[in-house]
Amino acid sequence: MKQICVLGLGYIGLPTSSILAAKGYHVLGVDVSRKVVDTINSGKIHITEPDLDLFVKAAVQSGKLRASLTPEPSEAFIIAVPTPFKDGKKPDLSYVEAATAAIIPHLQPGNLVILESTSPPQTCSHVILPLLKKAGFTPGRDIYLAHCPERVLPGQIMREVVENERVIGGYTPECAEKAKELYASFVKGAIHLTDSTTAEMVKLVENSFRDVNIAFANELSLICDELKLNVWELIKLANLHPRVNILRPGPGVGGHCIAVDPWFIVDTCPQTARLIRTAREVNDGKPEFVVKKVMQAAERFKNPVIGILGLAYKPDIDDLRESPAIEIAHELRHKNAGQLMVCEPYCSEHPDFELCDLETTLKQADILVLLVAHQQFKKIDRELLKPKIVIDTCGIW
């Protein structure tokens, strides 16, 4: 293969495109945003990820990577578009359907179609396959169809795309082998082959496992609050047991993976996925608990100034997707809890909030609500906290 088309130039599509280009492939990146296309073609990036800017700049300058609003004939097509929610926590696969429809006019016998987007079980067989068959293609006979879920950590994507083990699920065994040929050209980790539905489920199960464990920690924090116990001390002591490893609670769960993927399983098997559903409900309910704690603290002031520390969904990144911190900030503003000062050191602006610097927030806020364990917040002089009411949802203070 020489020509590869990647549809969707977000947190997965763009790093994958740049690494493929670095390996010598001619890569066409496709995105629906003209701004994204123009940014990449100028050798720049629209998302924050360590080293990604260097890869993209080199790939564009070498002529190996370019971006477009529309796909073109290629030997392999990688679909890395969003799979968000519709109403009722139901997966919205319209982007996957649109991407598949967009490449069909360019498909030729022998082409490889890969779905990288995290998707509900049977997306390949029930969504993509019918569209391909309607166009006259039969995966496993004249073209190849596979699912290869990503499993990378924001902030370490450029390394993990290459080093992590990969699961490749083919619609047929031949499809899986064909996809393996491509991934083996840049993946150093072991590559494991299975069927497409199992591969789709693997990604969802990985994040559901993490979600269930986080929910246990978050539920402990609620119980400890009711019993007036220090949840951080409790967990520290319980974890002294050689076979116990309780995670740390937080303000909720965010990101496009853990906060989303379990609902795909629940939607597919609503009567059976009881534990997974309950874990999601526990974690989705944690922001409301934090808001109540802030509202109680605000009652002590006539005109309280509330400092919100962090909007990202996890520490030391600029990724705000599904962030519980943003939900909490919105709800506090909706309830008129007080004057909000929002500090997010990894963002220069936000469409909904005027961002403040950390020094000003620490000086003016009556109540400090720590929602993200950024390194900048861990280094705050504890003396500055003493006059404040502090609500630390991450346990760093």
* pLDDT tens, position by position, 250-290: 999 998 889 999 999 999 999 999 999 999 999 999 999 99
Q: List, edge to edge, every strand of the sheet that includes 112-115.
A: 65-68, 26-30, 3-7, 76-79, 112-115, 144-147, 166-170, 191-195
Question: Whole-model pTM?
Answer: 0.90
Task: State pLDDT tens for residues 156-171.
Answer: 999 999 999 999 999 9
Mean pLDDT in residue range 118-137: 96
| 203 among known catalytic residues | yes
How high is the pLDDT of residue 319?
87
* Marked catalytic residue, from 5, 124, 175, 257: 257
Confidence of residue 88 (pLDDT cuts 50, 70, 90): confident
Mean pLDDT of the chain: 96
Confidence of residue 153 (pLDDT cuts 50, 70, 90): confident
Query: Could you tell me how many helices (H) and strands (E) the chain has, helices first?
Result: 15, 14
- Domains of the chain: residue spans and CATH: 3-189 (3.40.50.720), 204-392 (3.40.50.720)
Confidence of residue 318 (pLDDT cuts 50, 70, 90): confident
Is 48's pLDDT higher than 90?
no
Instruction: Give Cβ neighbours of residue 329 (< 8 Å, ≥ 6 apart).
Output: 308, 311, 340, 342, 352, 353
132-155 per-residue burial string, b: 16 or more CB within 10 A, e: under 16: beeeebebeeebbbbbbbbbbebb
Mean pLDDT in residue range 350-375: 97
- 3 state SS of 316: coil
Instruction: Return the CA Rg of the chain.
Output: 23
Is 336's pLDDT higher than 90?
yes
Is 86's pLDDT higher than 90?
no
Residue pair 365/307 in contact (Cβ under 8 Å)? The answer is: yes
Task: State pLDDT tens for residues 231-255.
Answer: 999 999 999 999 999 999 999 999 8
DSSP 8-state class, residue 156: S
HEC profile of 258-299: CCCHHHHHHHHCCCCCHHHHHHHHHHHHHHHHHHHHHHHHHC
Q: Is 240 exposed, middle or buried (0-12, 13-18, 19+ CB in 10 A)?
A: exposed
Q: Give Cα 166 to chain centroid, integer Å.
A: 17
Is 85's pLDDT higher than 90?
no
Residue pair 123/93 in contact (Cβ under 8 Å)? The answer is: yes
Q: Rounded to whole angstroms, what are the CA distances from 58 to 17, 49, 154, 205, 388? A: 12, 15, 21, 36, 48
% of the chain surpassing 70 pLDDT: 100
How high is the pLDDT of residue 308?
98
Q: Rounded to whole angstroms, what are the CA distances from 48 to 84, 129, 324? A: 21, 34, 20
AA letter at 30? V
* Marked catalytic residue, from 203, 286, 314, 356: 203
| Mode of pairing for the β-strands spanning 191-195 and 166-170 | parallel
Is 333's pLDDT higher than 90?
yes
Is 1's pLDDT higher than 90?
no
